[in-house]
Amino acid sequence: DTEVTQTPKHLVMGMTNKKSLKCEQHMGHRAMYWYKQKAKKPPELMFVYSYEKLSINESVPSRFSPECPNSSLLNLHLHALQPEDSALYLCASSRRLDVAGQETQYFGPGTRLLVL
Amino acid sequence: GIQVEQSPPDLILQEGANSTLRCNFSDSVNNLQWFHQNPWGQLINLFYIPSGTKQNGRLSATTVATERYSLLYISSSQTTDSGVYFCAGNTGGFKTIFGAGTRLFVKA
């Protein structure tokens, strides 16, 4: 099973709302990622967790707050977003991070976020 | 950081045709992957291929790490092959860099 699940599939929120995106995998992977993808652009890395610890924060604004409560679950908490934050948010996982870089990444279907 | 260039940016094929997509890297990469993003946004892992050649059905990929490029071959294309093809890699850190993608449309 190489499945990464994400909920919700779609989300519409106002600029004063607080919402959360959820990502789950049961492949025993110990590295998990959040990416942001704007229309007609490639995915851009936001955060990387390794063994439930934040390894990379790509200078993401504090209105995005990641959380990794256990090895299977990754959340992205959203607060006071701007319309320009509307995008497809992708979660991915890989077996591990090591000195050679990460191995094959498996992506979830994404959450399409619209900020009004 | 590394730069990843993909060519061509857009490609239109008649069903049944073959094609080759190219990915060039500005620096050596430890990991190289090819993905297909379908029209619904799902990124599907095609190949993990830091070097050598792999084949999976009508798709095959070759990476020549010493020359910093990778090729994805699609044979006997089908309409379901439409979408965006990305290559991605990193140089040993944790940050994966994606190319801009090749947008493929296969006509019936």
Task: Name residue B107's amino acid.
Answer: K
- N residues, chain B: 108
Selected residue with higher pLDDT from A57 and B14: B14
CA distance B69 to A36: 26
- Classified as helix, coil or strand, A95 is coil
Model confidence band, residue B28 (pLDDT cutoffs 50, 70, 90): confident
pLDDT of residue B94: 72
pLDDT of residue A86: 97
Percent of chain A surpassing pLDDT 70: 93
B100 and A42 within 8 Å at the Cβ level: the answer is yes
Task: Name residue A9's amino acid.
Answer: K
Which residues in B have their CB inside 8 Å of a CB on A? 30-31, 33, 35, 40-45, 48, 86, 88, 90-96, 98-101
Query: How is residue A109 annotated by DSSP?
Result: -
Which residue of B43, B94, B100 is in closest CB contact with A107? Answer: B43
B72, B34 in Cβ contact below 8 A?
Answer: yes
CA A42 to chain CA centroid, Å, is: 15
CA distance A37 to A45: 9
> In this structure, what token pair is assigned to residue A66?
């990641």
Taking contacts as CB-CB distances below 8 angstroms, the residues of chain A near B93 are 101
Nearest residue of B to residue A49 by CA position?
A: B94
A42 and B48 within 8 Å at the Cβ level: the answer is no
Residue A84 scores a pLDDT above 90: yes
- Classified as helix, coil or strand, B63 is strand
pLDDT of residue B22: 98
CA distance B41 to A57: 24
CA distance A111 to A35: 11
Average pLDDT score, chain B: 93
CA A70 to chain CA centroid, Å, is: 15
Taking contacts as CB-CB distances below 8 angstroms, the residues of chain A near B91 are 101
Residue B12 scores a pLDDT above 90: yes
A24, A73 in Cβ contact below 8 A?
Answer: yes
Nearest residue of A to residue B38 by CA position?
A: A109
CA distance B77 to B45: 18
A94, A103 in Cβ contact below 8 A?
Answer: yes
B92 and A42 within 8 Å at the Cβ level: the answer is no
Residue A103 scores a pLDDT above 80: no
Distance from CA of A111 to the nearest CA of B (A): 9
> Which of A73-87, A102-116, B32-46, B83-97 is the least confident region?
B83-97
Q: What is the mean pLDDT of residues A25-39?
A: 94
